[in-house]
Structure 1
Amino acid sequence: MPDSQTIPWSAGSWTHPPHSTESGRELVATAVEGSDAWRHTAYGFVHDTEHALLAPLAVGEAMEVSFLAPWAGEFDQAGIFVRIDDEHWTKAGVEFADGHLGLGAVVTAVRSDWSVGYVDDWIDAEITVRVSRWADAVIVRARAADGPWRLVRVAPFDGDATASAGPFLAGPTRSGLTVRFTRWTRTPADTDLH
């Protein structure tokens, strides 16, 4: 990947503050019980209580977020959040559900959709999620430790809209999910899809 520029934790603003945070070289954040992001589809509810630390993301830029967590609670989740407004956003990363760690993305344009696949061998690894913003799309990639990048999603995204992105976490079913974010960087967007 291209040369990266570290984004200071202080450069972001929270959509909803976590229960607690500690920052230095790393950011340690603990989710509020019941926090989540979802709109309508299949479940019939709207959840707009995720903890996302956001900074501007322009067309032609990419962001990477790296993190570790003790995946134990149903629907524990962390990764990267890309937001235009309450009804247009994407969250991508990992979620612990039904006894498995899943890598996927939720893409929301008024209603949410969800794609996911198991990555149980990533459960103890440092995970990095990367989002590249193109003129009409976001491209999501992820990897465990220094392993190969895996394409997660290509999703439509309004290139004319002002957007922001950054680390996120949510604990829909429990208190105490603590995620250690180890890196937040900005680079030029990927130029190739494959």
Structure 2
Amino acid sequence: MARFEELRWLNQPENFEICGNELYVRTNGQTDFWRETFYSFWRDSGHFAYQTVEGDFTAEATINGRYETLYDQAGLMARLSETHWVKAGIEYSDGQSYFSVVVTNDTSDWSMLRIPTSTSGLRLRLTRHGEAIRVQYFDVESQLWQIVRLAYLPRSAAIDVGVMCCSPEREGFEVVFSDFTVGPAIERKLHD
């Protein structure tokens, strides 16, 4: 299990606390990760607590947030640079929480999926296999990992991976990350 106190910050929030295997964050105002597409702006101000990993990996965390305002978001991130990254997690849009994935290779794309939510949070997983990033969530009802996205991110010797949160429209979005792990990549097999 990764220790939150050993992670480094990109855009450290003013308010955060580590309690055992939990990281509590209260976001600064107008924070986001986005590059250009549709909205015509670049933002690299979101909060990202990370460690650097060499080669392929699997990262998991449970995310539980108070999603109330448009674009409140929290999840996992894999980042090569300001222009190449993937973020995946829960994002609030149109009065509902969605599973959201943004892949940025110079410019950002965005996909959303409505999934069942739980008061105990959502378990997420990112896996890197070479140039591919696999995005999954754990479906409590079926007790299976569900694949949401298989995305391209350029190969590199090392990559930063960790938890991220943003609140583009406000400050004070509250989120708790727990049971964060980073280890060897799971099996490449996609289909049963």
Could you say which TM-score interval applies, normalised by the shorter chain?
Answer: over 0.9
State the partner residue of 1:134: 129
Q: Residue 10 of structure 1: SS of its match in structure 2? A: helix
Matches within 5 A, 1:49-64: 49-64=45-60
Deviations 1:6-50 (A, max 9, x none): 101122111101130111211101111100000000110001101
1:99 and 2:95 are equivalent in the alignment: yes
State the partner residue of 1:171: 167
Letter in 1 for 2:47: H
Matches within 5 A, 1:33-44: 33-44=29-40
The offset of 1:144, in angstroms, is 5.1
Structure 2 unpaired stretches of 5+: none
The offset of 1:167, in angstroms, is 0.6
State the partner residue of 1:162: 158
In 1, Cα distance between the equivalents of 2:73 and 2:139?
A: 15
The offset of 1:145, in angstroms, is 5.0
State the partner residue of 1:24: 19
Deviations 1:120-148 (A, max 9, x none): x3153411111111112111111255742
In 1, Cα distance between the equivalents of 2:93 and 2:3?
A: 31
8 Å Cα contact 1:84/1:161 also seen in 2: no
The offset of 1:189, in angstroms, is 1.1
1:9 and 2:4 are equivalent in the alignment: yes
For structure 1, which segment, 77-86 or 159-168, has the greater mean C-alpha deviation from structure 2 after superposition?
A: 159-168
8 Å Cα contact 1:57/1:133 also seen in 2: no
In 1, Cα distance between the equivalents of 2:13 and 2:132?
A: 29
Q: Select 1:75's aligned residue among 71, 77, 81.
A: 71
In 1, Cα distance between the equivalents of 2:102 and 2:151?
A: 10
The offset of 1:103, in angstroms, is 0.5
Count the aligned residue pairs.
Answer: 188
TM-score for both structures, normalised by structure 1: 0.91
In 1, Cα distance between the equivalents of 2:75 and 2:19?
A: 19
Letter in 2 for 1:182: S
Structure 1 unpaired stretches of 5+: 1-5
Letter in 1 for 2:154: D
